[in-house]
Chain A
Amino acid sequence: MADKRKVLVACGAGIATSTVVNSAIEEMAKENNLNIELVQIKIAEVGSYVDTADLLVTTAMTKKEYPFPVINARSFLTGIGVEDTKKQILEELKK
């Protein structure tokens, strides 16, 4: 089995939207047997994970560049394009 991948889930305040996104990804991981560790944080805290994280899924996009891919998670809230977002996340995690 591959190493456990660390997925950051971030929103602006770390209280509202990341909670919903976190739970959606948790479910997705179960369905697809993904070995991941989810870390729910505020976007301002991403800096402390640059060396350890594999992916950032966020509703608070920034212009900042990170050493890992960043996926916009808004579709988990509105339902529009959610299948595409899920596919994107799965592709990243299966790499």
Chain B
Amino acid sequence: MTELYYDQSIIQVDLDVTSNQEALENMAATMAEKGFVTESFKDALINREAAFPTGLPTQGVSVAIPHTDIEHVIKKSISVAILKKPVEFGIMGDLDSTTPVKIIFLLAMDETHAQLVLLQQLMQVFQNEEQLTYLANQKDKQNIKRFLEEELGFTLKGGE
């Protein structure tokens, strides 16, 4: 079981953005409004993504797992966005190439090296084309929340 702070307000469907920076700004702002991250999180996240991109090409739709240092995080949470149209993210570990990302999992982690199980479960989803396609085409936040709880074992902590 992984205890996380999240609710439907940090799950977004049909997010209409034209660049990865716009997507990250939007997601970080929502997280800050909820009090899950500090105001400094947004810039730290964008700078980190520029230096160390997190786009991951998979068998199905590409995903990205943007994250940054723990000092910008108040409460451990994960924000999910399904983009209306994919935007290009740099490919992790690749110096020059990008991949069109449709699903973003923004990881706001408050401890180093402590979320192995959660991450491994997430990676299992990245290796499952059927599950990725399900998420990518999802228009209903409730379904995504249910997916996170049932497939990833996320446990809601603090409020609805």
Contact = CB atoms under 8 A, between A and B. Distances in A.
Interface size class of A (residues with CB under 8 A): 20 to 34
Contacts of A76: 123
B109 A15 contact: yes
Given A63-B95, A78-B58, A80-B58, A13 B52 contact: yes
B107 interface: yes
Interface in B28-53: 48, 51-52
Nearest to A18: B113
**Which 4 A-B pairs have CB atoms at the shortest separation, nearest pair first?**
A12-B52, A79-B127, A74-B93, A60-B52
A19 B116 contact: yes
Interface string A35-59: 0000010010000000000000011
A13 B59 CA distance: 26
A77 B56 contact: yes
A22 B52 CA distance: 18
A37 B94 CA distance: 26
B24 to A, nearest CB: 14
A13 B57 contact: no
B79 interface: no
B77 interface: no
Interface stretch (B8-16, B65-73, B80-88, B138-146): B65-73
A25 interface: no
Nearest to B110: A15
Interface of B: 48, 51-52, 54, 56-59, 65, 67-70, 91-95, 107, 109, 111-116, 119-120, 123, 126-127
A11 interface: yes
A17 B54 CA distance: 9
B92 A60 contact: yes
Contacts of A20: 116, 119-120, 123
A89 interface: no
Q: Of A40, A63, A74, A76, which is in contact with the most chain B CB atoms at under 10 Å from its CB? A: A74
A40 B113 contact: yes
A60 B54 CA distance: 9
A66 B119 CA distance: 29
B56 A16 contact: no
Given A43-B52, A77-B92, A79-B58, 5 more contacts: A17-B92, A17-B119, A61-B95, A78-B56, A79-B127
